[in-house]
Chains A and B, each alone.
Chain A
Amino acid sequence: MIKLENVTKAYSPEVIAVRDASFDVPKGEFVFLVGPSGSGKSTLLRLIAKQENPERGNIWVAGRRINDLPGSKVPYLRRNMGNVFQDYKLLPNKTVFENVAFALEVIGRPKHVIRQQVPAVLELVGLAGKQDRFPDQLSGGEQQRVSIARAFVNRPLILLADEPTGNLDPGTSEGIMRLLDRINKTGTTVVMATHDQRIVNMMRRRVIQLDRGTIVRDQARGVYE
């Protein structure tokens, strides 16, 4: 589903964010990218979403090499992936329903599809009945669930999560992880960057560890260390 081959990304000649990274994520896998802040986890996610372009190496997503994908095709690549962030990135002036519906609206989905899919995904993330609340009326965990609903409402092949539990307490984080696990079980490939040791150790999934831009460990059913 996702394949990187000797990928190097440098923001300047001195600042090398990712160095010679190679890995292959099959469809339906759950992968943790771990490592301290600045080790290149977020850059890897941004490379996969083509928010950044690598200096060297090749990247394939869903069987397609995205290195020289023209800008006009990038939106269609992104419709295959959902993005979840540490700061949720919700629109404060829209309700829960509108925030999720927005993702379908702006890719031209018809109204009847929106009316059917948004409540279904809100049910899945456990927010049924809160669809008319505004983000500031929700707890952090609930806001992250809205953001996951928005990322998943279009049923993407891939879910990219950048520190989704970074702002949450341990109990709430566990709930979010159970949700991501459920989404993964529907066949969605999940790549999650985190430095939350407890979560990684609890889940026991594949772990790719980064240190100053270099992959130092790639282990199935790994722990944080």
Chain B
Amino acid sequence: MLNRIGYVLRETWASLRRNFTLTLAAIITAAISLFLGGFFLLVQYGVSNALVQLRGGVEVIVFLRPDVTADQQQAIEQVLTDSPQVVEEFTFVDKEQAYAEFRQLLSGSPGLVDALPPDQITPSYRIVPATDDTAVVDAFARQVATIDGVYEVKSAKEIIEILRRVSSVARAVTLALSVALLVAAVILIWNTIRTAMVSRRREIEIMKLVGATNWFIRVPFLIEGILQGLLGSLLAWIGLATTNWLWTNRVPLTDLDIDALRATSAQFNWVVLLVFVVGGIVGGVSSAFAATRYLDV
């Protein structure tokens, strides 16, 4: 048994060295493909985390005119109260509160704060929508905008839409590239194994003649393929860890109010696990195909 393991390891190592350039190409292709696949998943997680955060916050803000009368304000509140199917709850932010928030937001630029007098700040209603249906929220926002005393209705839906659109394009591109490269990796690993088998056809012929089982002949090639896939996974892991670290520590997401736009560490670990599993399977399956197809050399 030990003898056999020794044999398999020696043959695998010799074969990896013999086809170094082909092997390297296969590993790099697998690595890039797995990296993009992992990146796709991380973006997916990040975006969905960010969406959860945005939905939980205020989505619609009704800005009032600075000169709004108490009657107008009463009418607006009435509309909000009468629409429980759209408005889950709303809060009133008066001039002073809004100004305080404004000062805090721009605390880094005192000049800007001074340029805007407190009486120019508009009071507002912040609304938590009762529904995720953006069409309904949108229609409601348009309706409220026509009420006297309303200056403007802003919906956080816009930022969500932009996020969705950008991420869906990014995701489609990474996914397509990842799949295309995965196919390339399969073909390259398959080709490396085939070349390895052709270059050893005399040995294989003799092994078959003296009664080596097909599994005995195949196993070194299978291990070689799986190893190539796993080495690709290893490189992809390094790439993903670096990217994730840079994104978390070097990009100021908090300032952009999208600090949830990242994968949690549990999600990251899950992606890495997946990258290794897929890498191993891709290597194993491609070499198994080659080893079965070219055993009759």
Partner of A89, one of B3, B202, B211: B202
The answer, yes or no, to whether B7 is at the interface (CB within 8 Å) is: yes
Q: Are B211 and A105 touching (Cβ within 8 A)?
A: no
Q: A89-B205, A91-B202, A91-B203 are in contact. Are A79 and B214 (CB under 8 A)?
A: no
Output the least CB separation between A72 and chain B (Å). 7
Q: A89-B202, A91-B203, A111-B3 are in contact. Are A106 and B209 (CB under 8 A)?
A: no
Q: Using Cβ atoms and an 8 Å threshold, which residues of chain B touch A10?
A: none
The answer, yes or no, to whether B208 is at the interface (CB within 8 Å) is: yes
The answer, yes or no, to whether A129 is at the interface (CB within 8 Å) is: no
The CA-CA distance from A105 to B3 in the complex, in Å, is: 8
Q: Using Cβ atoms and an 8 Å threshold, which residues of chain A touch B203?
A: 91, 102
Q: Are B3 and A75 touching (Cβ within 8 A)?
A: no
The CA-CA distance from A108 to B214 in the complex, in Å, is: 13
Q: Are A75 and B211 touching (Cβ within 8 A)?
A: yes
The answer, yes or no, to whether B212 is at the interface (CB within 8 Å) is: yes
Per-residue interface assignment for chain B, residues 205 to 220, with 1 indicating a CB less than 8 Å from any chain A CB and 0 otherwise: 1111111111011000
Q: Are B210 and A106 touching (Cβ within 8 A)?
A: yes
The answer, yes or no, to whether B293 is at the interface (CB within 8 Å) is: no
Q: Using Cβ atoms and an 8 Å threshold, which residues of chain A touch B212?
A: 75, 106-107
Q: Are A110 and B210 touching (Cβ within 8 A)?
A: no
**Interface range on chain A: under 10, 10 to 19, 20 to 34, or 35 or more?**
20 to 34
The answer, yes or no, to whether A209 is at the interface (CB within 8 Å) is: no
Q: Which of A77, A82, A102 has the most CB of B within 10 A?
A: A102
Q: Are A105 and B213 touching (Cβ within 8 A)?
A: no
The answer, yes or no, to whether A171 is at the interface (CB within 8 Å) is: no
Q: A89-B202, A91-B202, A102-B206 are in contact. Are A79 and B4 (CB under 8 A)?
A: no
The CA-CA distance from A102 to B206 in the complex, in Å, is: 9
Partner of A83, one of B202, B209, B213, B217: B209
Q: Are A78 and B210 touching (Cβ within 8 A)?
A: yes
Q: Are B210 and A76 touching (Cβ within 8 A)?
A: no
Output the least CB separation between B153 and chain A (Å). 75
Instruction: List, sorted by A's number, 22 A–B pairs whose CB atoms are closer than 8 Å.
Output: A75-B208, A77-B211, A78-B208, A82-B210, A89-B202, A89-B206, A89-B209, A91-B203, A91-B206, A102-B203, A102-B207, A105-B3, A105-B7, A106-B207, A106-B210, A106-B212, A107-B210, A107-B211, A107-B212, A108-B3, A108-B216, A110-B3
Taking A78-B210, A78-B211, A91-B206 as known contacts, 19 extra A-B pairs with beta carbons closer than 8 A to each other, sorted by chain A number, are A72-B213, A75-B211, A75-B212, A75-B213, A75-B214, A79-B210, A79-B211, A82-B210, A83-B209, A89-B202, A89-B206, A102-B203, A105-B7, A106-B216, A108-B3, A108-B4, A111-B3, A150-B210, A154-B211
